[in-house]
Amino acid sequence: MEFRLRAATLEDCKDIRRMMSELAEHEKLEKDHVKITEKDLEQDGFCENPFFRGIIAEVPEQHKSKDGHTKIGYSIYFYSYSSWKGRSVFMEDLYVMPEFRGKGIGKALMSKVAQLALDAGCKQMNFTVSNQNKSALDFYQSQGSLDLTTYLGYHYMCTHGDAFQQLAK
């Protein structure tokens, strides 16, 4: 299948937000789980000091999705730091629309994030995967990724909402 990868632009925010909702739906999360808006993406990803960077997977018009989309996958990532390894990249999302899976697009997106991170001096890439997403777990492990929950016993933690507000006081 013919596709290309490119850096996300401000004009891609509508499609990124659409695919974020599709990803949440795929992971069987509640409809309102994705709280950010297209405007949030515009402000946070395309400001002077962006909080994230993105990559878009696109197909030519003749291969567009059944719903008419040519932007059929994305990845967003940001740079972080490991106290053990140094520079790292965190791949927040990797998504390919279901009708385009199994064609090498997900692997290409993941590989592009790794290439960009390596060019930036990163030593590792981190990400999370839902327990229920067996096909994604298998895919990531086939790319040489380790499940740190099993390997090191780490749990990915989050503080948000009222608890986050209280913690900041």
Per-residue H/E/C for the chain? CCCEEEECCHHHHHHHHHHHHHHHHHCCCCCCCCCCCHHHHHHHHCCCCCCCEEEEEECCHHHCCCCCCCEEEEEEEEEEEECCCEEEEEEEEEEECHHHCCCCHHHHHHHHHHHHHHHCCCCEEECCCCCCCHHHHHHHHHCCCCCHHHHCCCCCCCCCHHHHHHHCC
* pLDDT class of 2 with cuts at 50, 70, 90: very high
Domain annotation covers residue 97 = yes
Domain annotation covers residue 168 = no
- What tens digit of pLDDT does each residue of 64-81 get? 999 999 999 999 999 999
The pLDDT of residue 8 is 98
Q: For position 46, which CATH number holds?
A: 3.40.630.30
Domain annotation covers residue 147 = no
Domain annotation covers residue 60 = yes
Domain annotation covers residue 138 = no
Domain carrying residue 74: 4-127
Mean pLDDT of 35-49: 97
Domain annotation covers residue 19 = yes
Catalytic residue among 74, 77, 95, 140: 140
- What tens digit of pLDDT does each residue of 88-136 get? 999 999 999 999 999 999 999 999 999 999 999 999 999 999 888 899 9
Domain annotation covers residue 155 = no
The tokens for 133 are 């997403």
Task: Domain count for the chain, please give it.
Answer: 1
Is 140 catalytic? The answer is yes
pTM: 0.93
Mean pLDDT of 46-60: 98
Domain annotation covers residue 48 = yes
